Amino acid sequence: MEQDHKEHSLLAETFNANESRVDWHDETLWWVRQKRDRMAWSIPEWEELREAASRIKHNVLGNMHDYLIEFEKNAIANGAVVHWAADAAEHNKIVLQLLQKQGVKRMVKSKSMLTEECHLNPYLAEHGIEVIDTDLGERIVQLAKEPPSHIVLPCIHKKKEEIGELFHEHLGTPAGNADPKFLTAAARQHLRKEFIQSRVAITGVNFAVAETGEMVVCTNEGNADMGAHLADVHIACMGIEKLIPQRKHLGVFLRLLARSATGQPITTYSSHFRKPKEGQQLHIVLVDNGRSRQLGREDFRNSLKCIRCGACMNTCPVYRRSGGHSYHNAIAGPIGSILAPNLDMKDYADLPFASTLCGSCSNVCPVKIDIHQQLYKWRQVITKEGYTKKTKAAGMHAMNIVLSKPGLYKTAGGVGRWVMRTFPAVVNNGMNPWYKQREMPAPPKESFADWYKKNRK
């Protein structure tokens, strides 16, 4: 893919132009993180649950071939039609063909990050089919012609006044009304009409059980159920890593998912789709799109354990202050930054650097993905492959020379302190990235080495 966007740091700069808005974004997500903590602390066996979830997913990674075959066999026995897509293009083509067979021009879709990853909506629009996103947050960003900025909270970057304006323009609500209750009621009415009219519904999948061939879809709004139960054709799109071995494993994952995501004990609806309803078609599209390749990367395969709760985003100091759109990928935040380079190392070379490596993401991850370790490892892979920017590579090279030669390091330190004291404008200006949003510290008179020599000898 051609690079037609700015890199993370530049996009974050745009987001940071409005300081009070960044503070609001930061605080809102931190509040969600705190709700997650309260939920986690109320379960004494929380850490054991995380460990069990991680090990179940590890078992899936090591047996994915057989589980996929088992799932397919059971799903077919249940009456579903199973499709396999090697990449996004094939996934989109399969969905388009199903829609064309039904002759529909408009249909409903509930939340599916996979279809975002595959850019299904624009593809279908090119073929004259309009997708109505039915998750409220997704509908809002769709009306605003934006991608979701968060996998669980798609319009977390939007103020209610902006949503009120969007609804005024598209749904005819009174101008100036920004009451969340009123706007939600308006969306409910608007989308009920779509549910009733729609003959095809696309849903995502949270968990697919190999043992039973069933799929579990979790929502708070009930939009997946409204769409799927009223449609003649239900198309469920899933990445192959959504598999879990047995039904009883749902007990572990459903305990972790909503608590980690939004600090709720469970989502309102955890729907188990096994057989199509009478007279209905159920299609399941199994999508690889780079996942089998990631499975072969020893350092990065654990990223496939992800259950898409978004906890790593809510806790990330960089995500909270740079916003989801700065990651220019369907999945933002720490998890997006370790998944994206597998899809396109050059295009997403900036993302593993959009982190402080503080490790908070790994600490909250319900399936114990070593996210911050992988961010660090991706940096090394990307640099080795030559995908870092020339200025960064040159800076690192210079630092390497200085830091590996004690004499040079000492001289450079002395010169640096002298320059900062004598000509502070050299560092205190917009050209120096460290000066942005910061005052530079006062330069010390002597180096630590000099101080140590004086005081310890």
Partner 1 sequence: MSREAILAAIKKNQPEYQALPDLSAFGQAGPGDPAAFKKVVESLGGQVYEITSFAEIQPLVAEHYTDLKQVVAIKDAYLPGAATQWQTGDGRQLEHVDLAIIPGQLGVAENGAIWVTESEIEVRVLPFITQHLAIVIDSKHILPTMHDAYEQIGAPSTGFSAFIAGPSKTADIEQSLVLGAHGAKSLTVFIIR
Within 215-274, the residues that bind partner 1 by CB under 8 A are 220-223, 225-226, 229-230, 232, 240, 245, 247-252, 254-255, 262, 264-274
Give least dist CB 283 to partner 1, A. Answer: 15
Looking at the Cβ atoms of 145 and 456, the one nearer to partner 1 is 145
Looking at the Cβ atoms of 59 and 447, the one nearer to partner 1 is 59
Give least dist CB 41 to partner 1, A. Answer: 14
- Rounded to the nearest angstrom, the gap between the alpha carbon of residue 192 and the centroid of all alpha carbons in its chain is 28
Binding partner 1 by CB under 8 A: which of 51, 146, 165, 344? 51
Residue 218 bridge partners (DSSP): 270
With beta carbons less than 8 A apart as the criterion, state whether 116 and 138 touch.
no
Helix (H, G, I), strand (E, B) or coil at 347: coil
C-alpha gyration radius of the chain: 25
Tokens encoding 83: 């499709």
CB count in 10 Å sphere of residue 405: 12
In the shown chain, the binding pattern of residues 121 to 150 toward partner 1, with x for contact by CB under 8 A and - for none, equals: -------------xxxx--x----------
Give least dist CB 258 to partner 1, A. Answer: 8
Binding partner 1 by CB under 8 A: which of 70, 116, 214, 347? 214
Q: Can you say whether the dihedral through the CA atoms of 40, 43, 48, 53 is positive or negative?
A: negative
Binding partner 1 by CB under 8 A: which of 10, 34, 65, 429? 65
Of 4-12, 26-34, 345-353, 408-416, the segment contacting partner 1 by CB under 8 A is: 26-34
Element (H, E) at 283: strand 281-287
- How far is the C-alpha of 151 from the C-alpha of 175, rounded, in Å? 29
Give least dist CB 184 to partner 1, A. Answer: 4
- How far is the C-alpha of 171 from the C-alpha of 165, rounded, in Å? 10
Angle among Cα 42, 45, 49 to the nearest 5 degrees reads 115
Footprint (CB under 8 A) of partner 1, residues 328-387:
none
Looking at the Cβ atoms of 274 and 417, the one nearer to partner 1 is 274
Looking at the Cβ atoms of 355 and 374, the one nearer to partner 1 is 374
Give least dist CB 178 to partner 1, A. Answer: 8
Of 58-66, 125-133, 314-322, 412-420, the segment contacting partner 1 by CB under 8 A is: 58-66
Give least dist CB 361 to partner 1, A. Answer: 21
- How far is the C-alpha of 289 from the C-alpha of 407, rounded, in Å? 51
Give least dist CB 394 to partner 1, A. Answer: 36
With beta carbons less than 8 A apart as the criterion, state whether 207 and 244 touch.
yes
With beta carbons less than 8 A apart as the criterion, state whether 201 and 235 touch.
yes
In the shown chain, the binding pattern of residues 293 to 332 toward partner 1, with x for contact by CB under 8 A and - for none, equals: x-xx-x--x-------------------------------
Give least dist CB 264 to partner 1, A. Answer: 8
Q: What is the DSSP letter of 330?
A: S
Element (H, E) at 239: strand 233-239
Looking at the Cβ atoms of 153 and 369, the one nearer to partner 1 is 153
DSSP 178-233: --HHHHHHHHHHHHHHHHHH-SEEEE--SEEETTTTEEEEEESS-HHHHHHHH-SE
- Residues in the chain, total: 457
Give least dist CB 443 to partner 1, A. Answer: 44
Footprint (CB under 8 A) of partner 1, residues 71-110:
78, 84-86, 90
Footprint (CB under 8 A) of partner 1, residues 142-201:
153-156, 158-160, 163, 180-181, 183-185, 187-188, 191-192, 195-196
With beta carbons less than 8 A apart as the criterion, state whether 202 and 214 touch.
no
Number of residues interacting with partner 1: please give it, by CB under 8 A: 93
- How far is the C-alpha of 395 from the C-alpha of 393, rounded, in Å? 5
Looking at the Cβ atoms of 292 and 428, the one nearer to partner 1 is 292
